[in-house]
Chains A and B, each alone.
Chain A
Amino acid sequence: MGWFSRLRASLGVSPHAGTFDEEARFHLEQRIADYIANGMSPDQARREARVRFGSMTTARERTYDADTVPWLRELAHDLRHAVRRLRRHPAASAATIAILAVGIGANAALFTVVDQLLLRDLPVAAPERLVLFNWLEGRTSMRVGMDGVRTTDDTTGRQTSTSFSYPTYLHLRGSSHEVAELFAFHPIQQLNVVVNGLAEVASGQYVSGSYFSGLGVQPRYGRLLADADDRADAAPVATITHAYWQRRFAGDPGVIGRAVLLNRIPFTIVGVTPPGFAGALDVTRSPDFTVPFASEPLLQGARSDLRRPAFLWVHVMGRLRDGVSAERVAATLGAPLQQAMLAEWHEAMAADPERAGREQPRTLADGSTLRVEPGQQGLMDTRRRYVQPLALLTACAVIVLLVTCLNVATLQLARGMARQREIATRLALGVGRGRLVRQLVVESLVIAMAGSAGGLILAQWGADALLIWSPFGGPIQVDTSLNWRVLAFGAATALGTALLFGLVPAWRTTRTDLVRGTRQRGGSAPPFARPLIAAQVALSLVLLVAAGLFVGTARNLRAVDPGFDPERLLLFRVQPQSNGYQSDRIGALYAQMAERIEALPGVRSVAVSRHALLGFSRRADSLVLEPQVSDAGAEVNVVSPGYFETLRIPLLLGRGFTARDDVAAPPVAIVNRTFADRYFGGGSPIGQRFWFGTVKDGAPTEIVGMARDAKYADLRSQTQPTVYIPVAQDLPGQASVAVRTTGDPLELVGPVRRAVAGLDDRLPIFDVRSQRAQAIEVIARETAFARLSALLGGIAVLLVAIGLYGVLAYGVVRRTAEIGVRMALGARRTQVVAMMMKDALLTTVVGVGLGIPVTLIAAQAARDVLADLLFGIEVGPVVLAMGSVLLVMVAVLAAVRPALDASRVNPIEALRVD
């Protein structure tokens, strides 16, 4: 018999089942006919024949035993049995499944996010053949500048980064043809885009001509970029992502060949990348436009980095040729990297003799070491920052799952005890204990599978919610739909939890004394129930303390005085420099923009500054002060004359900026109070002078005013010495505009857009939002952690309450007789209530006692990430006490109902039971 029919037969779909039945029927009829022929009455004959045949089911099963895989058949039987049992107690089963669904759902939601952010490979052909290059700094650095992430290598303590100069990339590529196909890319934060006459800001990236062939990506429509597009004389072309194509062009195939303006330069769209592909940048970034490196000088103009020697900014990846290892690539390209770096260093020093005079001479040996690492996930720089917060959240979710398992174990134990008679009877009838344990575990497995299915549904919703709450401080777009890894995770979790919550109760329930088991009905709470509840209490305390810490952090941050008035302020950004504005015109543009917007009804005043407040961005500079102060420095913002009035930052001393503080006038500055306190001992800073940089070089800047302290990049950081300088004296190529309104700031979005378009309809405004929204976003991560931890803590506490209630209520039923005796012997109702309460409180207090050291150990393990996340609160007696008191209160609430029920036991009726 084939394995397939054996499998089918095992699951009860035997091809022979009908055969046996017909044969057996014939057999019985023959026997009956014989009996009647021998003189029996038909009725008697029928009865006798049936008795003689014995169990039809057993005979049928034994007949087809040979056709089946016995353990599988038993499993199928156990499964049917389990489903039948669960359907017999629908309410209890649904509750158990719901509890598990919540626990598994929280974990699956997090796993979905972890999977997308940290585990997923790039959606390209054979991603395992991709490598990502980085360098490990030698004795000293050989760079003159950098636009990229540089970190300290864990093992060597030396600097490392994935950014290279473009000339270095070309040199490496020239040496690599036999071992790998190299390609390079670099993100563009904001591109000013004009599509169909509408100006907007999009994201983008520069790529080498070998990018798409190296990654192994095919176009969805049109064609992708090739080497021929990456030449200085090639016509400017771009590809767009599938997502941008859908969003901006509604999936119109006619987009191929369409002209768009990128930073005012006409580009032709030649292709659309496949859905799901967003490049090899960090998974959170999806560059709308991809353009060749050759177009960088067009887009950046004089600020082009393409030919700059020793300026590190492009990421380099490669696809290994067949049979070539990453080690061989590293060996092949190690020397070319050092040659290129040294040559570029010399070139850079030749162009900057002043710096060359200060620098030590470099040799080839100073060059960085090339490292070749797996590249199947693309860049990981920013993703690494999510690791710790995600680990923390995952730990919380795992604790919830543990509480869930303990909780369900408690419930199973109680149900198991209620089945004690049935089980004892079956044991007495000779059913093997192993078989019984397995049957109970299968029952748990069915519950767990159902819970897991529910959990995966919850996870879909949960993962989206998780990302909307942006626990990582900014918006992240990832695909949270189900995939096989999430499904596998769900199945594995179900199996794990079933074993966790199923084995102990099954073991305990079947270890029953046959004689006592069939008779006994007394006894109090199920054995193990109290330790299980205490463990839940202990774990819940960890979650409650975490919730207390994060909720406290969010509350503290909201209570921080920003030092300015964030209400009724509209913010937006512009970057005229990208559209080719030169300094003189930028100043005029800002002035005209302010003038036009100020003229709108509902606008009080307008301010232009380089950096918005609470926007995570700031400028910091070294300063030289007239009375020498070592290591002097300040945070710097460039602001227009109306700034302090518009933001409502009070001027404490001196004057504000005016239109006369322009490029022709002597440099002036306004400082904040912290600046005056730090550098002038609290004395008046007015009239003091300083220089930017590290040397007294050029005209000094004179301090003409002092403003009250205000928060700058975020709410968390201590206010630093801050210098404001007038916009006309240091024109920024991009700026944030703040509009103080009389009413709802968002009502002015349309008028403001039209006012700016009236000045230049190719200049998009972006990041349009109220300052209030900006202030909410700046604490988004903390808010998300507060909500998530409160949610998880709440779930845990609710589960503890359910578990405690269940066990106590069960205890009341089991102890009815005992309580009856006590009351008959003169115990008062209050004494009965006290007895029950004591039971609940003792369990809880033991749990809290266990939980405190567990919490402290957990806090110690997570101290780094906590130090990063917490604000104005720490793990200490206050938070621990609050969590403990809350748990005790919950225990009391959960115990009230069972305790009152116990006190209402009628002694006479109670004693009549059994």
Chain B
Amino acid sequence: MVLRVKKVDALQGTLDMLVLKTLSLGSQHGYGVAAHVQQISGDLLRVEEGSLYPALHRMEQAGWIAAEWQVTENNRRARYYSLTRAGRKRLGEEEAKWRRLTLGVDRVLGIG
């Protein structure tokens, strides 16, 4: 099963966290973020374009990430996003929240 990650998902903020995590590994363009999430999750997670770009724009406005135009290896102009100091802090908070959430859910399900 493929999980589609959207803004309206029950797990609000998940997309933000995935994007921030991806960018914490180095600056990346939008397609790169989507491809990375899909690849690392072993095709379990798929980021929807209709949600990715709004999320990127929103996080840029919030100051968590910064964007600049760069040239790719094959000489194409692309917009590269990188994590800011505020974004790094945010990622930490999101990860802590996620851990608490999954821990709680696991306990309820009797997995933990």
- Give A residues with C-beta under 8 Å from B: 1, 16, 19-20, 22-24, 26-27, 29-31, 34, 52-55, 58-59, 62-67
Whole-angstrom CA separation of A34 from B34 in the bound complex: 13
Whole-angstrom CA separation of A304 from B34 in the bound complex: 100
Measured as residues with beta carbon below 8 angstroms from the partner, the interface class of chain B is 10 to 19
Name the one of B51, B61, B78 contacting A66, with C-beta atoms under 8 angstroms.
B61
With CB as the reference atom, state the residue of chain A lying closest to B76.
A26
Point out the residues of chain A lying under 8 angstroms from B76, CB to CB.
Answer: 26, 29
Known A22-B77, A26-B77, A29-B76; judge A63-B53 contact (CB<8 A).
yes
Name the one of A22, A31, A63 contacting B57, with C-beta atoms under 8 angstroms.
A63
Classify the secondary structure of A's interface with B. Answer: helix
Q: When the two chains form their complex, are residues B31 and A27 in contact, meaning their CB atoms are under 8 A apart?
A: yes
Known A23-B79, A26-B78, A27-B31; judge A66-B49 contact (CB<8 A).
no
Q: When the two chains form their complex, are residues B54 and A59 in contact, meaning their CB atoms are under 8 A apart?
A: yes
Q: When the two chains form their complex, are residues B49 and A53 in contact, meaning their CB atoms are under 8 A apart?
A: yes
Q: Can you list 25 A-B contacts (CB < 8 A)?
A: A1-B61, A16-B57, A19-B79, A20-B53, A20-B57, A22-B77, A23-B29, A24-B49, A24-B53, A26-B76, A26-B79, A27-B49, A53-B49, A53-B50, A58-B50, A59-B53, A62-B51, A62-B53, A62-B54, A63-B54, A63-B56, A64-B57, A65-B54, A66-B57, A66-B61
CB of B89 closer than 8 Å to a CB of A: no
Whole-angstrom CA separation of A438 from B76 in the bound complex: 45
The minimal Cβ–Cβ distance linking A246 to chain B, given in whole angstroms, is 60
Point out the residues of chain A lying under 8 angstroms from B79, CB to CB.
Answer: 19, 22-23, 26
Q: When the two chains form their complex, are residues A26 and B31 in contact, meaning their CB atoms are under 8 A apart?
A: yes
Point out the residues of chain A lying under 8 angstroms from B57, CB to CB.
Answer: 16, 20, 63-64, 66
Beta-carbon contacts under 8 Å, B36-59 to A: 48-51, 53-54, 56-58
Beta-carbon contacts under 8 Å, B69-85 to A: 76-79
CB of B30 closer than 8 Å to a CB of A: yes
Whole-angstrom CA separation of A55 from B79 in the bound complex: 21
Point out the residues of chain A lying under 8 angstroms from B35, CB to CB.
Answer: 30, 34
With CB as the reference atom, state the residue of chain A lying closest to B34.
A27
The 8 closest A-B pairs by CB, nearest first: A62-B54, A30-B31, A59-B50, A63-B54, A27-B31, A54-B50, A53-B49, A63-B57
Whole-angstrom CA separation of A30 from B38 in the bound complex: 15
With CB as the reference atom, state the residue of chain B lying closest to A26.
B78
Point out the residues of chain B lying under 8 angstroms from A63, CB to CB.
Answer: 53-54, 56-57
Whole-angstrom CA separation of A29 from B31 in the bound complex: 10
The minimal Cβ–Cβ distance linking A218 to chain B, given in whole angstroms, is 54
The minimal Cβ–Cβ distance linking A769 to chain B, given in whole angstroms, is 76
Whole-angstrom CA separation of A55 from B49 in the bound complex: 9
With CB as the reference atom, state the residue of chain A lying closest to B29.
A26
Other 9 A-B pairs with CB < 8 A, given A26-B29, A26-B30, A26-B77: A16-B57, A22-B77, A27-B34, A30-B31, A31-B31, A59-B53, A62-B54, A63-B56, A63-B57
Point out the residues of chain B lying under 8 angstroms from A26, CB to CB.
Answer: 29-31, 76-79
Q: When the two chains form their complex, are residues A59 and B49 in contact, meaning their CB atoms are under 8 A apart?
A: yes
Point out the residues of chain A lying under 8 angstroms from B30, CB to CB.
Answer: 23, 26-27
With CB as the reference atom, state the residue of chain B lying closest to A52.
B49
Whole-angstrom CA separation of A279 from B50 in the bound complex: 69
Point out the residues of chain B lying under 8 angstroms from A27, CB to CB.
Answer: 30-31, 34, 49
Name the one of A23, A29, A30, A31 contacting B53, with C-beta atoms under 8 angstroms.
A23
Point out the residues of chain B lying under 8 angstroms from A24, CB to CB.
Answer: 49, 53
With CB as the reference atom, state the residue of chain B lying closest to A54.
B50
Whole-angstrom CA separation of A52 from B50 in the bound complex: 9
Whole-angstrom CA separation of A31 from B33 in the bound complex: 12
With CB as the reference atom, state the residue of chain A lying closest to B59.
A66
Whole-angstrom CA separation of A259 from B56 in the bound complex: 82
Point out the residues of chain A lying under 8 angstroms from B29, CB to CB.
Answer: 23, 26
Whole-angstrom CA separation of A618 from B40 in the bound complex: 107
The minimal Cβ–Cβ distance linking A54 to chain B, given in whole angstroms, is 5
With CB as the reference atom, state the residue of chain B lying closest to A58.
B50
Point out the residues of chain B lying under 8 angstroms from A59, CB to CB.
Answer: 49-50, 53-54
Point out the residues of chain A lying under 8 angstroms from B49, CB to CB.
Answer: 24, 27, 52-54, 59
The minimal Cβ–Cβ distance linking A188 to chain B, given in whole angstroms, is 72
Point out the residues of chain B lying under 8 angstroms from A66, CB to CB.
Answer: 54, 57-58, 61
Whole-angstrom CA separation of A20 from B49 in the bound complex: 12
Point out the residues of chain B lying under 8 angstroms from A1, CB to CB.
Answer: 61
The minimal Cβ–Cβ distance linking A125 to chain B, given in whole angstroms, is 50
Point out the residues of chain B lying under 8 angstroms from A55, CB to CB.
Answer: 50
Point out the residues of chain B lying under 8 angstroms from A58, CB to CB.
Answer: 50
The minimal Cβ–Cβ distance linking A26 to chain B, given in whole angstroms, is 5
Whole-angstrom CA separation of A59 from B58 in the bound complex: 13
With CB as the reference atom, state the residue of chain A lying closest to B79.
A23
Point out the residues of chain A lying under 8 angstroms from B31, CB to CB.
Answer: 26-27, 30-31
Point out the residues of chain B lying under 8 angstroms from A29, CB to CB.
Answer: 76
Point out the residues of chain A lying under 8 angstroms from B50, CB to CB.
Answer: 53-55, 58-59, 62
Whole-angstrom CA separation of A844 from B58 in the bound complex: 61
The 8 A CB mask of B10-48 against A (1 = contact, 0 = none) is: 000000000000000000011100110000000000001
Whole-angstrom CA separation of A62 from B54 in the bound complex: 6
The minimal Cβ–Cβ distance linking A55 to chain B, given in whole angstroms, is 7
Point out the residues of chain B lying under 8 angstroms from A31, CB to CB.
Answer: 31
Point out the residues of chain B lying under 8 angstroms from A62, CB to CB.
Answer: 50-51, 53-54
Whole-angstrom CA separation of A54 from B79 in the bound complex: 20
Point out the residues of chain A lying under 8 angstroms from B53, CB to CB.
Answer: 20, 23-24, 59, 62-63
The minimal Cβ–Cβ distance linking A47 to chain B, given in whole angstroms, is 15
Q: When the two chains form their complex, are residues A54 and B48 in contact, meaning their CB atoms are under 8 A apart?
A: yes
Point out the residues of chain B lying under 8 angstroms from A30, CB to CB.
Answer: 31, 35
The minimal Cβ–Cβ distance linking B91 to chain A, given in whole angstroms, is 20
